[in-house]
Amino acid sequence: MKTAFLGLGRMGQGMAHRLVEAGHDLNVFDLYPEQAKSLVEAGATLSPSIAEAIVDSDAIITMLPSDGVLEAVVTSAGGLLESMQEGMTHVMMGTHGIGIVRKLTTLHTEAKQVFVAGHVLGRPDLAATGQLTIVPAGPTDTVERLQPIFDVLGKQTVVVGTDPQSSTAVKIANNFVLGAAIETMGEAMSLVRKLGVDAKLFHKILTNGLFGAPAYEVYGKMIAEEAWDSIGATAIIGLKDMNLALEAAEAAQVPLPSAAIFRDRLLGAIAHGEGELDWAVAAREQARGSGLE
Amino acid sequence: MKTAFLGLGRMGQGMAHRLVEAGHDLNVFDLYPEQAKSLVEAGATLSPSIAEAIVDSDAIITMLPSDGVLEAVVTSAGGLLESMQEGMTHVMMGTHGIGIVRKLTTLHTEAKQVFVAGHVLGRPDLAATGQLTIVPAGPTDTVERLQPIFDVLGKQTVVVGTDPQSSTAVKIANNFVLGAAIETMGEAMSLVRKLGVDAKLFHKILTNGLFGAPAYEVYGKMIAEEAWDSIGATAIIGLKDMNLALEAAEAAQVPLPSAAIFRDRLLGAIAHGEGELDWAVAAREQARGSGLE
Amino acid sequence: MKTAFLGLGRMGQGMAHRLVEAGHDLNVFDLYPEQAKSLVEAGATLSPSIAEAIVDSDAIITMLPSDGVLEAVVTSAGGLLESMQEGMTHVMMGTHGIGIVRKLTTLHTEAKQVFVAGHVLGRPDLAATGQLTIVPAGPTDTVERLQPIFDVLGKQTVVVGTDPQSSTAVKIANNFVLGAAIETMGEAMSLVRKLGVDAKLFHKILTNGLFGAPAYEVYGKMIAEEAWDSIGATAIIGLKDMNLALEAAEAAQVPLPSAAIFRDRLLGAIAHGEGELDWAVAAREQARGSGLE
Amino acid sequence: MKTAFLGLGRMGQGMAHRLVEAGHDLNVFDLYPEQAKSLVEAGATLSPSIAEAIVDSDAIITMLPSDGVLEAVVTSAGGLLESMQEGMTHVMMGTHGIGIVRKLTTLHTEAKQVFVAGHVLGRPDLAATGQLTIVPAGPTDTVERLQPIFDVLGKQTVVVGTDPQSSTAVKIANNFVLGAAIETMGEAMSLVRKLGVDAKLFHKILTNGLFGAPAYEVYGKMIAEEAWDSIGATAIIGLKDMNLALEAAEAAQVPLPSAAIFRDRLLGAIAHGEGELDWAVAAREQARGSGLE
């Protein structure tokens, strides 16, 4: 398939490499063209503008760092809305909020363009190896048509609905469940530590019991070992994720107290200068509030 | 070993059967002697009083339904405190709070008796098949001496400390982590449902991803299918567990906001007449508060 | 009226003095008889036992420091339940929980004795000057008969129901509203301080505006001036009050998240060694969690 | 003083009338010129554009309905940033968030224009009668120069700082304290009602005691009487206020759990179709969650 790929950050580069290596005819674009270097070497074409990147594309994938950049890429002069022909397809794969997704759904639909949200679960290492889980939502026939792309990028695809916001909901809710698990482990470990139990031992019991899953294995270990420096997502990124959850909760009119708690915890950690540590550092803020530090 | 077993409820019967079948010389006692029927048939001796049950015991196991009953069994006239000789060992295995555990630790120690908390993780079906996880805490030599008993009752033993309250902390914290996971799943599923996602599909994504553990598999399924009738622990028992967590948190001086949230959620469910349904019904209360019912 | 007064702590002494000075025929009792010295000088009679104190009493007032002491005074051998004749009246005026109040209501009623809860709003200084607000609940005719006593002790009496627990509800809810106001002021003052506003100035604006009431004037000033040493009620007493609120909330099946938050805040303060400072020190814990200290 | 007034909604009209009646030379502008009718009759001049409205102004007051409109008025082509000469003063008096205030502070400063935040406490009826409380923050000499304007608009002026965001902090925190008081009253009234106490009676006790202030008198009455139809601010506006509080809390790095609770409560009310009722309807959502409806 002829594919355009806009946004060559860490996630984007890994995904674009998968596509070019799988034989897709790939045009790439980034505000910083030097990001495209290794992709061009691998066979992709670097386009000087969005408009040129998307010519004749079967799919235009965006993997952008923020709602603001995404909105600019779509609505600016020379952006997608202006440049896409009727019937062309924008597949948004970055992490974005319900508000912008609803807005783009309306705009693309009004312009008779097709919009699919194809959020992914997984970090750059999984992106680079095609091990993502992809949870697309959009018009059924388009989503089916995109399956070869998803097959290259992910280990599994679960279609979650026909309205793009359904994909966004799954992405955001998954991150929320993870954040709440980190909060809970932090609280529990402060509790057992103050009652004489080694946190690593408690972690072993948890994960040998009802909680033998990566969320608890990876983050529980980090918390038990106070290894905040091995950074996956920072506290500041975690805060952004919780804000996305709370924005979605407002849009859906769903009280979400566990997200509010973890958001406050991350704010406390950031207030103590720990915003650039892994978001598991929330557990340290919990320990501090319990008089453990 | 010569063992006395006090308290023949569902958990206690399963555990006592394991012991008698493994060849332990077992005296049993319950306020309701008819509870002992099948154990006597299996070879146990029914004692008419606590005092007689514990004569010459190497270990006296209690598996009692509440802090109040436990306190009565230990401190009443004719109870353990009066009847145990110096050096004898009380192994408390039921679910109890930090307050009573601290109190019994003091009382037994003053009486030169030995006190071990040997809390178990797992429900009656695991108790009956010896698949419990046992997390004992107490004097090291005693805990080692009790290992043959633990080997019969559990699939693994993790010694968590030398102070009995450490065992209690692990038991209570494990239940708290489970309760918080139920709360979080309830919140997340209300969120995705209101944004067009099928709850069962979301559950599949969660458990195929970072949350492939029994806590999320079993309870997530129950929530996604709204199957509150397949009762493990009821909302009222869950409330008791959260109260134990909050009591422990107060004793340890640890703020525990996630426990408070789930406690409030369970209270709301109980206020709506759902106290006797499975505690996963908390998710229904969340859905109701989100305007879903 | 012939009145017995049991419990001569700070509140009790002030109240008992009011009664004896108003001409009541007063028998007093306390586990520590030396507490009665100034009352005896003022004309009260010190009784050596509960049984003797209450002989022929028109009203037996208890002003006791905890649920445990109250329960002992009522249910022990030689206690009120045994000693009161049918038709005699126990007026409980101390701060106690819904659980014990419900229990005593049942016990006294079964014994054909009369039980009134006559909780008071106000501290020892108001007790000593008869400026309390009294919120009794109990059988209507008895409450009316007790009015002369309430007139001596308080500046106003508001009868809140016929079931004693209604009085307890008002007492506990009033303390809860106060605690939540302290929490809120603490949060707000951390917020404005970090955005460049002097806390005293903010306090002035609040109390000149919608919040010109003693709760905000007194506690807001304490928080703005960080004057935790001018102790009214300590953080530990405040924690007890919040626990009473949460116990009542459970009995009534009412989620009470604001009480849970303030309870956690007080726990944090206590964990930082501030349990004996005024409960307004909760605001310091909030400031600490915001990185202000 | 020669004054420009941009934004003639309910608050703006009342304030502009005060100024023209006090003899100020007033140019007014609104996207909907018909809003200016009565002001023109009173002597104000209706300008066809922002640029013309502000010519030679000593002060340019904005009273705009949202952050988005404010940003457009300042940064659009022909907006304030372009049209104001160096040294001219923009006095922002509407309710806006910390983010936009920080942004405008930077933009105006870079353009060598003066920016003052002059938030007001009080509703349209107080605006129309000059009874507002004004809490300005900005360069000291400018704020002093503006005092004659503040004297016409408000009954008192409290200068809260030299950085505009300090004014915003006070405005937002004041609303937050009010929201939290509503939440607390709702919780307390559900509690006492379920324990047999009439809500109106409890309200009387509160306001005769430590809570005799307008916030508790007005909103407590509304809650006790379930009079959600006498609308001051709606639940949807209240949600906006809580979002402003949470945005400020994030900017200041201050955990604000009481705001999160009230936000969730309002969301629940909105989910039940009550978004256009007075924000005190949050108490009804609390009652519903307690099984009272």
Nearest to D268 among A255, A263, A271 (CB): A255
d(CA C192, CA D168): 9
Q: Among residues D162, D182, D204, which one ends one of the domains?
A: D162
The mean-pLDDT minimum among A57-66, A178-187, C73-82, D223-232 falls in D223-232
What residues of A act catalytically? Answer: 171
The pLDDT-based confidence of C176 (bands split at 50, 70, 90) is: very high
* Tokens 């400018």, residue located: D142
The pLDDT-based confidence of C230 (bands split at 50, 70, 90) is: confident
Decide if B181 and A185 are in contact by the 8 Å CB cutoff.
Answer: no
Work out the burial of residue D56: count CB atoms within 10 Å of its CB; fewer than 13 is exposed, 13-18 middle, 19 or more buried: exposed
The answer on B264 and B227 residing in a single domain is: yes
| pLDDT tens figures, B103-140 | 999 999 999 999 999 999 998 999 999 999 999 999 99
The answer on B237 and B201 residing in a single domain is: yes
Do A121 and A101 form a contact (C-beta atoms < 8 A)? no
Decide if A176 and B187 are in contact by the 8 Å CB cutoff.
Answer: yes
Q: Which helix (H) or strand (E) holds B85?
A: none
- Looking at the predicted structure, is the pLDDT value of residue C1 above 90? no
CA of residue B278 relative to chain centroid, distance: 16
| pLDDT tens figures, B189-226 | 999 999 999 999 999 999 999 999 999 999 999 999 99
Which tokens in the block code for residue A217? 């294995």
- Looking at the predicted structure, is the pLDDT value of residue C153 above 90? yes
The answer on C48 and C14 residing in a single domain is: yes
The answer on D24 and D39 residing in a single domain is: yes
Which tokens in the block code for residue D266? 């309002």
| pLDDT tens figures, D247-284 | 999 999 999 999 999 999 999 999 999 999 999 999 99
* Phi, psi for residue C14 in degrees, rounded to 5: -60, -40
* Phi, psi for residue D265 in degrees, rounded to 5: -65, -45
**pLDDT value, residue D228:** 93
Q: How close A135 comes to chain B (CA, Å)? A: 9
d(CA C241, CA D188): 14
d(CA C237, CA D204): 26
Report the candidate in B257, A101, D172 with the shortest Cα–Cα distance to residue C262: B257
Within a 10 A sphere around the Cβ of D199, how many other Cβ atoms? 21
B250 touches chain A (CB under 8 A): no
Do A98 and B195 form a contact (C-beta atoms < 8 A)? yes
3-state secondary structure of B5: strand
DSSP per-residue letters across chain C? -EEEEE--SHHHHHHHHHHHHTT-EEEEE-SSGGGGHHHHHHT-EE-SSHHHHTTT-SEEEE--SSHHHHHHHHHSTTSHHHHPPTT-EEEE-S---HHHHHHHHHHHHHTT-EEEE--EES-HHHHHTT-EEE--BS-HHHHHHTHHHHHHHEEEE---BSSHHHHHHHHHHHHHHHHHHHHHHHHHHHHHHHTT--HHHHHHHHHHTTT-SHHHHHHHHHHHTT-TTS-SSBHHHHHHHHHHHHHHHHHHT---HHHHHHHHHHHHHHHTT-TTSBGGGHHHHHHHHTT--
The answer on B144 and B175 residing in a single domain is: no
Report the candidate in D21, D65, D59 with the shortest Cα–Cα distance to residue D39: D21
Decide if C190 and D259 are in contact by the 8 Å CB cutoff.
Answer: no
The answer on B146 and B110 residing in a single domain is: yes
A&D contacts, CB < 8 Å: 46
**pLDDT value, residue D15:** 97
- Looking at the predicted structure, is the pLDDT value of residue B240 above 90? yes
Decide if A268 and C289 are in contact by the 8 Å CB cutoff.
Answer: yes
Nearest to D264 among A243, A256, A264 (CB): A256
| pLDDT tens figures, B92-108 | 999 999 999 999 999 99
CATH code of the domain containing C151: 3.40.50.720
Between CA D138 and CA D142, with CA D140 as vertex, the angle to 5 degrees is 75
- Looking at the predicted structure, is the pLDDT value of residue D230 above 90? no
Classify each residue of C33-65 as buried b or exposed e, where b means 16 or more C-beta atoms within 10 Å of its C-beta. eebbeebeeeebbbbeebeebbeebbbbbbbbe
Decide if C290 and A273 are in contact by the 8 Å CB cutoff.
Answer: no
Report the candidate in A64, A61, A58 with the shortest Cα–Cα distance to residue A87: A58
Do B86 and B113 form a contact (C-beta atoms < 8 A)? yes
Do A61 and A3 form a contact (C-beta atoms < 8 A)? yes
Q: Among residues B117, B142, B162, which one ends one of the domains?
A: B162
- Looking at the predicted structure, is the pLDDT value of residue D293 above 90? no
Name beta bridge partners: D20. none
- Looking at the predicted structure, is the pLDDT value of residue C231 above 90? no
Q: Kindly state the average pLDDT of the residues C260-287.
A: 97
The pLDDT-based confidence of C232 (bands split at 50, 70, 90) is: confident
| pLDDT tens figures, D157-187 | 999 999 999 999 999 999 999 999 999 999 9
Among C157, C210, C256, the strongest candidate for a mutation testing the D interface, having the largest count of D CBs within 10 A, is C210
| B289, closest residue in chain D (CA to CA) | D268
d(CA A151, CA A26): 16
The answer on B134 and B27 residing in a single domain is: yes
- Looking at the predicted structure, is the pLDDT value of residue B231 above 90? no
The pLDDT-based confidence of C288 (bands split at 50, 70, 90) is: very high
A264 touches chain D (CB under 8 A): yes
| B174, closest residue in chain A (CA to CA) | A206
The pLDDT-based confidence of B1 (bands split at 50, 70, 90) is: confident
**pLDDT value, residue C113:** 98
| pLDDT tens figures, D193-204 | 999 999 999 999
B268 touches chain D (CB under 8 A): yes
* Phi, psi for residue A278 in degrees, rounded to 5: -60, 145
The pLDDT-based confidence of A141 (bands split at 50, 70, 90) is: very high
Work out the burial of residue C106: count CB atoms within 10 Å of its CB; fewer than 13 is exposed, 13-18 middle, 19 or more buried: exposed
For chain A, give the number of residues: 293
Nearest to C174 among D156, D209, D286 (CB): D209
What radius of gyration, in Å, describes the C-alpha atoms of chain D? 21
**pLDDT value, residue D152:** 97
What residues of D act catalytically? Answer: 171
- Looking at the predicted structure, is the pLDDT value of residue A287 above 90? yes
Average pLDDT, chain C: 97
The answer on D263 and D131 residing in a single domain is: no
**pLDDT value, residue D108:** 98
The answer on A117 and A237 residing in a single domain is: no
Domain that holds residue A263: 168-289
The answer on C104 and C225 residing in a single domain is: no
d(CA B189, CA D125): 44
**pLDDT value, residue D24:** 95
Amino acid (one-letter) located at D41? E
Within a 10 A sphere around the Cβ of C233, how many other Cβ atoms? 16
The answer on B203 and B155 residing in a single domain is: no
- Looking at the predicted structure, is the pLDDT value of residue D232 above 90? no
Report the candidate in C104, C111, C157 with the shortest Cα–Cα distance to residue C132: C157
Do D139 and D117 form a contact (C-beta atoms < 8 A)? no
Q: Among residues C138, C162, C186, which one ends one of the domains?
A: C162
- Looking at the predicted structure, is the pLDDT value of residue B188 above 90? yes
- Looking at the predicted structure, is the pLDDT value of residue A49 above 90? yes
d(CA A262, CA B258): 9
Q: Which of B171, B200, B204, B221 is catalytic?
A: B171
Strand order in the sheet with A132-134: A120-121, A132-134, A154-157
CATH code of the domain containing A258: 1.10.1040.10
Task: Give the ipTM.
Answer: 0.96
Q: Kindly state the average pLDDT of the residues A121-131.
A: 93
Decide if B245 and A191 are in contact by the 8 Å CB cutoff.
Answer: yes
Between CA C141 and CA C147, with CA C142 as vertex, the angle to 5 degrees is 100
Average pLDDT, chain B: 97
CA atoms within 13 A on the CB side of A79: 16
For chain D, give the number of residues: 293
The answer on D97 and D15 residing in a single domain is: yes
Please report all neighbours of A, defined by 3+ CB atom pairs within 8 A.
B, C, D
**pLDDT value, residue A69:** 96
**Percent residues over pLDDT 90 in chain C:** 97
| pLDDT tens figures, D56-97 | 999 999 999 999 999 999 999 999 999 999 999 999 999 999
Q: In total, how many domains does chain D have?
A: 2
Dihedral angle of Cα C233, C237, C238, C241, to the nearest 10 degrees: -120
Please report all neighbours of D, defined by 3+ CB atom pairs within 8 A.
A, B, C
d(CA D141, CA D115): 12
**pLDDT value, residue D231:** 78
Known catalytic membership, residue B204: no
Q: Kindly state the average pLDDT of the residues B137-161.
A: 98
